[in-house]
Amino acid sequence: MVAVTGADWGVGRLLVERLVTAMGSGRVREIVAITGRPAAEDGGGAPAAPGLTWRTADVRSPALAQCLAGVDVLVHTDVDRSLEVPGTKRRAGNIRAAQTVLTAAAALRVPRAVLVTGTAVHGAGPANPVPMPEDSEVGTETGAGLVGDLVEIEDLAQRARRAHPGLSVTVVRPAPLVGPDLDTALTRHFAAPRLLTVRGHEQSWQFCHVEDLADALAFVVVNGVEGKGGALAVGCEGALPQRAAEEIAGLRRFELPANVVFGATHRLHQVGFTPATAQEMKFLVYPCVVDCTTLREAGWRPSYDNEAALRALLEARGGKAALVGRHVGRKEVTITAAGAAGAAAAAIGTAAAVHHLRKRRSR
């Protein structure tokens, strides 16, 4: 029996659909779909199939354990990656959810738990090899951004392995996600007037489509894949060079020194202009490409390559515009860009952009 948290939205919903298919082939016996919204139990457009049971439980509440009797594998996909939720609130929710999932699984003697984090836990930097080995060291980032959340979730997984020897914990690390309805620092980066780059460094891109992540999670569950040290990466094979990304996106680059990029981002984050932190900005200008060795050797391949994934990201933008990771109207892009001596400079948020924001707040 397989249980999935966040089963009525995003990757969780896609995973349930794939597990239903596997159930039809006899590879999965039963599915428990866990949602925080009671409407899903009554249908509400959620998938329905014989052997699929919907349960309502807050993943941050000990009551989650009531959904896990007889479960063999628990897949936790209910991770808040929103840019709009205040960082401290998002961090508290994500960490509480991971703690509850692992504690409940151990208490109900679930043999295996699968958590979803991201390749971002390895960190982005100008000296990173392309690709990095899948078992590269996990960073120690604990700042306000989402990367800090994911690093703490990984730390919880490590502690759970030591504290609960009967619980096997697998961490699945997708590359930056693309797909419908996603609003991330990555999607906002490609919604800017120009693509920011750090002078003297060439970016390399690796993506993971949400459809591929759902496929990979189903593959991991059905085939018992664990990875080195209980962790594995999932994403498109290889890397897309910056120049190719610019050509596909139809955007020109704007180069700035590293100290300007990170210093301006830090100041704009402090005044509330952008949800992106300076640490998160590193992933948009420095490479973080991981070799997905475990899945490749196990026989799994992604459906999307990096070019197709980027095109999917661009298609999903829906005409939205962004400056320094903050959604704005097209008119504001034009005004701010002119005041900052060009759209590219506005994209990083110069002093003119900050001045523009303060003028609006004072009205």
Read off the pLDDT of residues 234-282 as tens digits, 9 standing for 90 and up. 999 999 999 999 999 999 998 999 888 888 877 877 777 777 777 888 9
| pTM, rounded to two decimals | 0.87
Pairing of strands 208-209, 177-178: parallel
Report, as an integer, the average pLDDT of 136-140.
Answer: 91
Over 80: is that where the pLDDT of 54 sits? yes
Taking the C-alpha atoms of residue 269 and residue 281, their distance in angstroms, rounded to an integer, is: 11
User: What local confidence, expressed as pLDDT, does residue 325 receive?
Assistant: 44
Read off the pLDDT of residues 339-363 as tens digits, 9 standing for 90 and up: 333 333 444 444 334 444 454 555 5
User: What local confidence, expressed as pLDDT, does residue 319 receive?
Assistant: 54
Over 90: is that where the pLDDT of 42 sits? no
Read off the pLDDT of residues 9-30 as tens digits, 9 standing for 90 and up: 999 999 999 999 998 888 899 9
Read off the pLDDT of residues 58-87 as tens digits, 9 standing for 90 and up: 999 999 999 999 999 999 999 999 888 888
Report, as an integer, the average pLDDT of 308-332.
Answer: 66
Over 90: is that where the pLDDT of 45 sits? no
Taking the C-alpha atoms of residue 12 and residue 210, their distance in angstroms, rounded to an integer, is: 10
Report, as an integer, the average pLDDT of 77-98.
Answer: 92
User: What local confidence, expressed as pLDDT, does residue 320 receive?
Assistant: 55
pLDDT, the chain, mean: 86
User: What local confidence, expressed as pLDDT, does residue 361 receive?
Assistant: 54
Taking the C-alpha atoms of residue 186 and residue 163, their distance in angstroms, rounded to an integer, is: 36
Report, as an integer, the average pLDDT of 282-304.
Answer: 96
Which has more confidence, 275 or 150? 150
Contact criterion met (CB below 8 Å) for 6 and 56: no
Read off the pLDDT of residues 208-238 as tens digits, 9 standing for 90 and up: 999 999 999 999 999 999 999 999 999 999 9
Taking the C-alpha atoms of residue 151 and residue 162, their distance in angstroms, rounded to an integer, is: 17
58 exposure class (CB count in 10 Å sphere: 0-12, 13-18, 19+): middle
Phi-psi region of 299 (alpha: psi -120 to 50; beta: other; left: phi over 0): left
User: What local confidence, expressed as pLDDT, does residue 363 receive?
Assistant: 53
Contact criterion met (CB below 8 Å) for 16 and 45: no
pLDDT level of residue 335 (50, 70, 90 thresholds): very low
Give the DSSP letter of residue 175: P
Read off the pLDDT of residues 190-202 as tens digits, 9 standing for 90 and up: 998 899 999 999 9
What is the token pair recorded at 126?
A: 């100008």
Contact criterion met (CB below 8 Å) for 268 and 133: no
User: What local confidence, expressed as pLDDT, does residue 362 receive?
Assistant: 54
What is the token pair recorded at 136?
A: 């590269």
Express as a percent the part of the chain with pLDDT over 90.
67
Taking the C-alpha atoms of residue 166 and residue 109, their distance in angstroms, rounded to an integer, is: 7
User: What local confidence, expressed as pLDDT, does residue 50 receive?
Assistant: 87
Report, as an integer, the average pLDDT of 149-163.
Answer: 96
